[in-house]
Amino acid sequence: MNDKTDRLLATLKLQPVVPVLVIDDARAAVPLARALVAGGLKAIEITLRTPAALEAIRLVAQEVEGAVTGAGTILNARNYDEAVDAGAQFIVSPGTTQELLDAARSSSVPLLPGAATSSEVMALREEGYDVLKFFPAEQAGGAAYLKALSSPLAGTLFCPTGGVSPENARTYLSLPNVVCVGGSWVAPKAMVEAGDWDGITRLASEAMLLAQ
């Protein structure tokens, strides 16, 4: 577990914001990923919420130099295996089941499991996980909730996702138990559909400044 945790942490520490992408057309995946990487956002989460997702992961993994391709919205072992086969280098789930934990245990690709309560965090710690996704962040209590967890659950790091925006990202990132945040604002649907790759690179560059 330690090697996988180290690799996952190294990925999450590449940038303050991990783009959370919903890709409807796989043909947009490569120019979108290149635009994000050009702006400094190398770790990219492509969610399995559309029929195009696995092909998008495959294309980005094969064709975009510098990208660290992740797969999100992984709900079961079949999703896990399909994403890894497509080339995903890290896996993200909105919650956690025993089936997912078993799939992660048998895979060399690390899992960022989702948790929303202190009990879920404690259960995952018992399974050896101390780097977690906090989801849905704003709806589950936001930065104040995570701050409250920092002392009793010291040593656990989080990537809050869900309702995170340019307006509240700095608040999350200022917390000692937050390693990065996940956000969709760096790749707005309208910009993707318009092919405004320069605009997305600009948003990615602005997101990188949140680390300062």
Domain count, the chain: 1
Instruction: State the Rg of the chain over Cα.
Output: 16
Q: What is the pTM of this model?
A: 0.97
Per-residue tokens: 116 = 């929303």
| pLDDT single digits (tens) 138-171 | 999 999 999 999 999 999 999 999 999 999 999 9
| pLDDT single digits (tens) 65-83 | 999 999 999 999 999 999 9
Q: What is the mean pLDDT of the chain?
A: 97
CA dist 189 and 23 (Å) reads 9
- Is residue 1 predicted with pLDDT exceeding 70? no
Active centre residues (catalytic): 45, 133
- We report the CATH number of the domain holding residue 40 as 3.20.20.70
CA dist 190 and 208 (Å) reads 21
Confidence of residue 2 (pLDDT cuts 50, 70, 90): confident
CA dist 52 and 44 (Å) reads 16
CA dist 19 and 22 (Å) reads 10
Q: Tell me which residue range forms the domain holding 71.
A: 2-211
Q: Exposed, middle or buried by CB within 10 Å (0-12, 13-18, 19+), for 61?
A: buried
CA dist 154 and 176 (Å) reads 9
